[in-house]
A and B are shown apart, each in its own frame.
Chain A
Amino acid sequence: MDVVTDLKPAEPLLALRGISKRFTGVRALDRVDLDVHAGELHVLFGENGAGKSTLINVVSGTFPPDEGTFQFGGEDIRHLTPQRARAIGISPVFQEFSLVPSLTVEENLFLGREITRGGVLHAREMRKRATALIDELGFDLDPSQRVDDLSRAHQQMAEIAKALLGRVRLLILDEPTASLTERETGRLFELIARLKSQNIGLIYVSHRMREIRALADRVTVLRDGRHIRTLDAATSTDSELVELMTGRKIDLLFPTITHKPDKVMVDVENLTLADGSVGDVNFHARAGEITGVAGLVGCGKSELIRAIYGIEPIVSGTVRIDGLPYEFPAPRRSLKHGIAYFPANRIAEGLALSRPIRENASMTVLDLPAFARFGVLRQAVERTAIQGVMEQLQLRPPNIERTAGALSGGNRQKVMLGRALTRELTVFLFDEPSVGIDVGAKLEVYEFMKRLVEAGAAVIVVSSELPEVLALSNRLYVMHHGQIAAELTGAEKTEQNVLASFFREHLVTEVA
């Protein structure tokens, strides 16, 4: 049954009509239509909670839709399971990896569809095919390596390779570039072009305008679980897309921030970390300005601010906060010194998902006498304080007793920000502040930083998103291989200069 050849060119590969999905009273999808043609890259665009993940989960068989019709390759599909979806050629790559950390890349690739002979694994054949696939994709990946030994970028490659093993007709990519470097992203784009030419349909979820511009044939905008519009990528403008997504007009993504550099709040001298990720770094940040730190994934920029906060062990060097030496940093003492840290991974290090918003937001302040006396909590104070803070941050819906696990990425980030508003703080360390949140929530985070800086706080932003750090920071450090490669201010602060300082480092190392 070779369906592909029977298909008329006009007929879509995937056709969803009126798909609805409810979760305990919440309508995640409301009569959504979606067409994906063979050889087309179709971008799903929308804020967090707009229904994108629910939709791709329906397409990949994770859960069935409540209503609507589902056609794939011209056939009606019912009772789709993840296994069946893979069997008919629908292959998803989710943001959360589906890799078993303790198995090798190769074992992961074939997990669930191992090649066997009479019940015995055919290791040689699997090795051969895994190597062939990885070579074809052009990934620098060793099939015999254990997944937990790989960097996140390499895990992402393994995940994509896994999705492409076997016969694929529809590939689903959920923010695939979130953890990739520029070079790896370039590779991925080449690969996508090749897949398109092989008549594979692609569903691509992304918030990044640049990627949509580079890749998309068509864009479907979702909002509040509803299909808003499907547009041709070539004829639509950025502002049009953002407007459709948020339902409101957004002129500027980055707010204009008035920096008024004051005294040095954070001063780091010859800092070296125990794991060698940061070596001999000199760095300072002033009150009243945003200090940016740019760099590729794994360059040590996160570790730098984590060390200041006291999560990464320091071997040598000094940290001074507001002119005074700060020895042996530890999170609790950092908070007492007025330093707050916002982790990049809000699930792993930020929130206790089983606990309510209120408890998550107040976690950092309970040591203050206003919130607890002699170890006994003052719940009324806590409730009013957190309610006020979350109102200020426009938490939607404004119920602070919901568990953090029930929130979308944007709301989770708000709970994190809420922590900062509950106590007197002067230094704010943001680690990849906009990872995993949509444009609307990003704007709110940027506005939040603007308010902090203009109130005289010192803000340090570490980000792999170059446009973000460039636009927000007053002074920008560029890190490379654990060291400061450049410090840029004013007119020098351009994308070219940042990239050039990566490049210069490369040249130096190559010459040496």
Chain B
Amino acid sequence: MSTVVTAGMPRRSTHLGRSIVGRIGFLPALLVALIVGMSAIDPQFYGLINILNILRNASLLAIVACGQALVIVAGGFDLSVGAVVALASVVTAKTMAATAAAFPGNTALVIASGVAAGIGCGLVVGLVNGFCVAKLKVSGFVVTLGTMSATAGVGLMITSGIPVYGMPDSFVKGFGRAQLFGLPTAVYAALAVIAVMMFVQRRTLFGRYVYAIGGNVDAAVVSGVSIQRHIVGTYAVSSVLAALTGILLTAQVGSGQASFGGDRMMLQSIAAAVIGGVSLRGGVGRVEIVAISALFLTILGNALNLLHVDSRLQPVFLGIIMVAAVALDELSRRSKARV
């Protein structure tokens, strides 16, 4: 076992390089290359409007992806996030419209009730997901496939597919479209979520147990970790974050729509998590890298738009990059030695 000390010397540089790559991945390099390349090709890319647009979209995706990452780290899957975004959006808008009709002029109450209703319906979906996975032992994939379908259906039913208006101006103009120090509110929301999630992952019992459960459920059981509570927790967090995204999107657009989020958001959140180094085997993954990966995916989509790549061709790029990321992850896993 003393070979570690003696053998490491001549290969130090490659070793060091590999360990950095192993820790953060190729993502920052790709991100920088993409930004530099696009700035050189198209000046429109670094225009203020485009940058704000990118940041806003990246923030929304990052929030959803953080929740998705937590579920995947625990060894699960949450397909329902996109549908929850839509449901939270319409529920928030409907509640605000109804409260505004009942208590005209009481803006604070209107906003509070709308936000509470939106977050609340996210929490309910999350608890249902978590309960079915933890107690009924149905696989997360199947459960969330079911709730995705059901949630999307409820969203359409509430609105009949028509956008819901009637929200207070202060919610839309004063919050959703407002800017603080030149940045949209969604960016601050995302930064706050990322900071809290980083804290949760690194410094809380919940975060640690989620890693342990994803790393080895049976070992966690033997170690006296209560599994069910924490699994329910991951799904609840994921759905609540998705609901938050729905509310931010509603405030920004100015109407509640059942077409928000959807399959695209769900697929992107999984892609962001996987490209951000979250292992589908569970037990590995950090939200800050997932957030960077969400930014990367958003910029990539934006770049493809600016380059006038056919929108039907764009998912092909996303697919290729996702598979490549997982392949790289496998490759680095395989080259590790045992001592």
Contact = CB atoms under 8 A, between A and B. Distances in A.
B222 A224 contact: no
Given A397-B4, A405-B336, A311 B222 contact: yes
Contacts of A366: 205, 208-209
Contact of A332 (B5, B204, B226): B226
A348 B214 CA distance: 13
Contacts of B18: 24
Interface residues of B, number: 42
B222 A349 contact: yes
Interface stretch (B7-15, B178-186, B298-306): B7-15
Contacts of B215: 351-355
A328 to B, nearest CB: 14
A507 B191 CA distance: 73
Nearest to B209: A366
Interface in B182-240: 202-206, 208-209, 211-212, 214-216, 218-226
Contact of A359 (B204, B212, B281): B212
B221 A406 contact: no
A25 interface: yes
Interface residues of A, number: 49
A451 interface: no
Given A22-B7, A30-B3, A372-B205, A355 B222 contact: no
Contacts of B205: 366-367, 372, 375-377
B15 A24 contact: yes
Nearest to A373: B205
Contacts of A22: 7
B126 interface: no
A360 B6 CA distance: 28
B338 A406 contact: yes
A347 to B, nearest CB: 8
A334 interface: yes
A402 to B, nearest CB: 8
A26 to B, nearest CB: 5
A335 B220 CA distance: 13
Main secondary structure of the interface of B (DSSP, over half): helix
A222 to B, nearest CB: 12
Given A352-B215, A375-B204, A26 B223 contact: no
B335 A23 contact: yes
B284 interface: yes
Contacts of A406: 336-339
Given A25-B4, A332-B226, A352-B211, A363 B203 contact: no
Interface string A109-146: 00000000000000000000000000000000000000
B204 A364 contact: no
B7 A27 contact: yes
A406 B336 CA distance: 7
A26 B212 contact: no
A394 B20 CA distance: 28
Given A26-B3, A334-B224, A349 B335 contact: no
Given A24-B335, A30-B3, A351 B219 contact: yes
B224 A377 contact: no
B311 interface: no
A287 B140 CA distance: 45
A332 B335 contact: no
A28 B86 CA distance: 54
Interface centre among A26, A330, A331, A335 (most CB of B within 10 A): A26
A355 B204 contact: no
B3 A224 contact: yes
Interface in A1-60: 22-28, 30, 49
A49 B279 CA distance: 27
A408 B338 contact: yes
A355 B15 contact: no
Given A351-B216, A355-B283, A377-B205, A26 B222 contact: no
Interface string A135-170: 000000000000000000000000000000000000
A246 to B, nearest CB: 12
Contact of B222 (A350, A359, A375): A350
Contacts of A204: none
A436 interface: no
A292 interface: no
A176 interface: no
Contact of B3 (A225, A333, A348, A359): A225
A24 B336 contact: yes
A379 B203 contact: yes
When A and B form their complex, which 8 residue pairs have the shortest distance between CB atoms, in order from nearest? Answer: A352-B215, A23-B337, A332-B224, A27-B7, A354-B283, A352-B216, A363-B223, A331-B224
22 contacts: A24-B335, A25-B4, A26-B7, A26-B337, A26-B339, A28-B3, A28-B337, A30-B3, A224-B1, A224-B2, A331-B223, A349-B218, A350-B219, A351-B216, A359-B212, A363-B225, A366-B205, A377-B202, A377-B203, A396-B1, A397-B4, A405-B336
Given A27-B7, A359-B211, A397-B4, 13 more contacts: A23-B335, A25-B15, A26-B4, A49-B339, A331-B221, A341-B222, A349-B221, A350-B219, A354-B282, A359-B208, A397-B339, A406-B337, A407-B339
